[in-house]
Structure 1
């Protein structure tokens, strides 16, 4: 690509002016001293000298400066690959050093930020691959171990065979669970997962989740309840299945990290005329402050050993965040270590519609109006 340099004349104009003033003044003084010239002739001589010296100095300086800067600036642009930078491709390159310095500094800053972002992404990629391999490796080795034991001779014992096959099946189920979560979060991040919006009762949905997780909560003697026992139905607008998955994941986490005999409460609050806030609160172990910013990262676990023992893919909160953001809503978390945690998210209320009257209702209404008019 040919470099298009934009000429600047400021340096040559100023420099030529200084040189010509000095040279013309010096010539006038010398002529007056040695030749004794005075008056109009000396003044005319001075102006002619000034003009000729100025013109000559300007042309020489401009040509030399352009050539000097051109060579060096071209080398700078080639060295730092400015020709590949989109900010310089469609505009001429100036030979003004101040402008050039500013542009090079801006380019260097942009490249530094780009390099830092690439380093962060590379670190995130390595961590993600390490987490994926670790999550998949555990159930794979488990399944392989049980199957190898059966092949090596345990197949003949019916009791051992049945027990090991059941354990291998659990390992396969965990693998399927992880792969399905990975598939969902990939679709959510790429925008390929279409949401099916409808109007539904969020209170009924939470109660359904309570029923699904009742046995899981009973194992740790954790009570699942609404904050307000007399809560009325609240219609919201969203993807029912995905919102149920959000509520289920959050309540599963509250059970997983909750203490024996603890409590998980769900509150549904009218936040504004158009929004509802769903809060899931527990009195479990809580989360330390340094871990809160990373809670919604894929495979990030606060308590690595404990949470893996409880099961799960490590993608629950990441999926929750993406589902809520796909609804263009917000999710919040507040926690105090040793006291408990509260996760909350907003969701849009269902739009109120005027009830449609059937033919019988319209007929009855018209009769009542006619009776009123007769009276």
Structure 2
């Protein structure tokens, strides 16, 4: 409601009240009309002055403050100063919208704070476990004063494995930090995804034999499929997913790599027949350091960052990754890639920050 309309309504109410009172006491219509006119004009002027000076001006300041805070200085300067003709309704709308925005920001900050606490707790635990193990082995060797050389050799080998675990952890932390900040660029190129799958499978065969698991490439297409992505990083994605399937697969089982030709994309799936994952854990599976089976995961080893790195790489390609799993039957991880268009130039795609 505009200021003049608001003032007029109030002045009209006062004028009517005084006119009715005048008629009640004098019963003179001429005096009533004069009273109504004078009261309307005087009330209008008084109300307009008082509301404008003590109420409306304050509302305008509040409106401008909230409006400027919402837009930010740069955007506000670009748009110029803006004062609504009806700031009362606008300020109500602005306050509600601003309050909702601030509520969302507070909730997001709380989530980030919880994530920070969990991350610090997880990373301290991940570092503490191998460090305590290394310290224990070194203390045992020092106490023995190298008299039992066989024991010293065994302890040094175990300490070396824990040092390797620390190295993997630091390397993966550094990589995921750079992926999140966008420091690692996505170098797009055309390549045959079929050939890359074969290379990764051949490179993983030795590790698969150690786990007594058979690697299978379920290729449904005779012709090679060209994709447009970062070959090195997609190779890392495949290695991480196959390595994950071998760690949690069952002895004597299979890990199958499948390729599906979609309309404008290619779907790659890695399927195992291992222990599977409970449904309640699936939404958190790509979180850093998240483990569904802590005791077994500690025995298997690894940094706990492999799936988080996979997710960051795929999302940096503006693609999607998903997982479906049934406990006791196995899991399937699938991700998409952009198909390369034949004989057409490709625009450079931006690197996204996660």
Check the 8 A contact 2:67/2:94 in 1, yes or no.
no
Is 1:251 matched with 2:242?
Answer: yes
Q: Does 1:318 align with 2:308?
A: yes
Return the alpha-carbon distance in structure 1 between the equivalents of residues 276 and 149 of structure 2: 45
TM-score (normalised: structure 1): 0.79
Match among 109, 122, 131 for residue 131 of structure 1: 122
Which protein shows a greater Rg? 1
Please state how far the C-alpha of 1:321 moved relative to its aligned partner: 0.8
Match of 2:282 in 1: 292
Give yes or no for contact 1:277–1:346 (8 Å, CA) kept in 2: yes
Matched, 1:177 2:177: no
1:56 aligns with 2:47: no
SS in 2 for 1:237: strand
Which shifted more, 227-236 or 277-286? 227-236
Which runs of 5 or more structure 2 residues have no equivalent in the other structure?
74-80, 345-354
TM-score (norm 2): 0.83
Distance 1:242 1:201, change over 3 A: same
- CA RMSD in angstroms comes to 3.2
TM superposition shift of 1:138 = 1.1
Q: Which moved more, 1:230-239 or 1:108-117?
A: 230-239
Aligned partners of 2:85 and 2:130: how far apart in 1?
62
Map of 1:1-375 to 2, 5 A cutoff?
A: 8-28=3-23, 30-32=25-27, 42-43=29-30, 45-66=31-52, 69=55, 85-86=69-70, 100-228=91-219, 231-272=222-263, 274-353=264-343
Quick one: distance in 2 between partners of 1:350 and 1:112?
43
Tell me, in whole angstroms, the C-alpha distance in 2 between the residues paired with 1:63 and 1:48: 23
Residues 77-112 of structure 1: CA deviation (Å, up to 9, x unaligned): 6xxx96994369866599976655544443333332
User: What is the CA distance between 1:353 and its match in structure 2?
Assistant: 4.0
Measured after TM superposition, the shift of residue 291 of structure 1 is 1.0
Q: 2:286 is paired with a residue of what secondary structure?
A: coil
In the alignment, is the contact (CA less than 8 A) between 1:283 and 1:339 conserved in 2?
yes
Q: Is the 8 A contact 1:66 1:95 kept in 2?
A: no
Q: Is the 8 A contact 1:7 1:95 kept in 2?
A: yes
Query: How many aligned positions are there?
Result: 335
Alignment gaps of 5+ in structure 1: 1-5, 34-41, 355-375
Q: CA deviation at 1:118?
A: 1.1
